[in-house]
């Protein structure tokens, strides 16, 4: 299925690789102008933007650490100034820091909250200043908000569960403006951080109804749906796309 985003401006956090890059490519392919942030490799981010622009789309890469509230809000304000508005915000940036509850460092715990929760609120607040009637906010959560079947993931699961409550409250706040707020909860997805061929991946497959990793493009497809006109009546929802991991 294809959607029409011509004339729309999208902002994606953590958009240079993996799920984020698939979302950037999908929204741009459907006609949106896309700004996206990256933290690390400028080369990877610039190559993604250049490829989209070379194929007739429009994209820019902006270096900004999602954990830095000033930098993140500044990146969104800069993109809105350049393109005139923000219609679609995808909060994709996240960290996965694992450790037992009795030994995980407070620094890792705080970073988990800063990037996985606080940055979502910071980016949403910044984007809302430039978002009109009918805008879209889409967060990338995790199936681990519903099921954490291995040790060491308490802080990560908590951070993703926090998004479930956040979207419900924000959906109430923004409903009068026709702005929808939703949460996409992927299961294992084949990226460089979680390749489907690893020994860890094989263990995950044993927990799933569909014993395979998802593909980044599959997650991007659900995001595209939530960003589209067809999803105008969907808000405050947390939607699993996890191959039955939480079933």
**Tally of CB atoms within 10 A around 106:** 7
Residue 109's alpha-carbon distances to 64, 95, 97, 152, 155, in angstroms, are: 21, 11, 8, 12, 6
> Which positions are annotated as active-site residues?
156
Q: If we measure between CA atoms, which residue out of 210, 196, 218 comes closest to residue 243?
A: 210
Three-state secondary structure along 137-198?
Answer: EEEECCHHHCCCCCCCCHHHHHHHHHHHHHHHHHHHHHHHHCCEEEEEEECCECECCECCCC
Per-residue exposure over 43-52, b if at least 16 CB sit within 10 Å of its own CB, e if not: eebeebbeeb
């Amino acid at each position: 299925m294809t959607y029409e985003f011509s004339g729309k401006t999208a902002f994606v956090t953590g958009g240079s690789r993996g799920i984020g890059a698939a979302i950037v490519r999908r929204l741009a392919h459907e006609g949106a102008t896309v700004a996206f942030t990256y933290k690390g490799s400028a080369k990877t981010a610039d190559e993604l933007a250049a490829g989209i622009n070379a194929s007739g789309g429009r994209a820019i890469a902006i270096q900004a650490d999602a954990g830095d509230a000033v930098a993140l809000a500044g990146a969104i304000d800069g993109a809105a100034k350049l393109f005139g508005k923000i219609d679609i915000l995808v909060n994709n940036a996240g960290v996965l820091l694992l450790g037992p509850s009795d030994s995980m460092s407070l620094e890792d715990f705080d970073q988990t909250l800063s990037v996985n929760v606080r940055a979502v609120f910071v980016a949403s607040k910044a984007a809302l200043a430039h978002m009109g009637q009918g805008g879209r906010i889409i967060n990338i959560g995790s199936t681990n908000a519903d099921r954490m079947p291995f040790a060491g993931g308490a802080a990560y699961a908590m951070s993703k569960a926090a998004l479930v409550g956040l979207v419900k409250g924000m959906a109430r706040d923004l409903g009068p403006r026709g702005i929808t707020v939703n949460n996409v909860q992927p299961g294992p997805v084949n990226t460089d951080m979680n390749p489907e061929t690893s020994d860890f991946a094989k263990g995950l497959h044993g927990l799933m109804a569909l014993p395979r990793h998802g593909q980044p493009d599959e997650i991007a497809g659900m995001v595209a749906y939530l960003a589209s006109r067809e999803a105008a009546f969907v808000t405050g929802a947390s939607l699993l796309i996890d191959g039955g991991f939480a079933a």
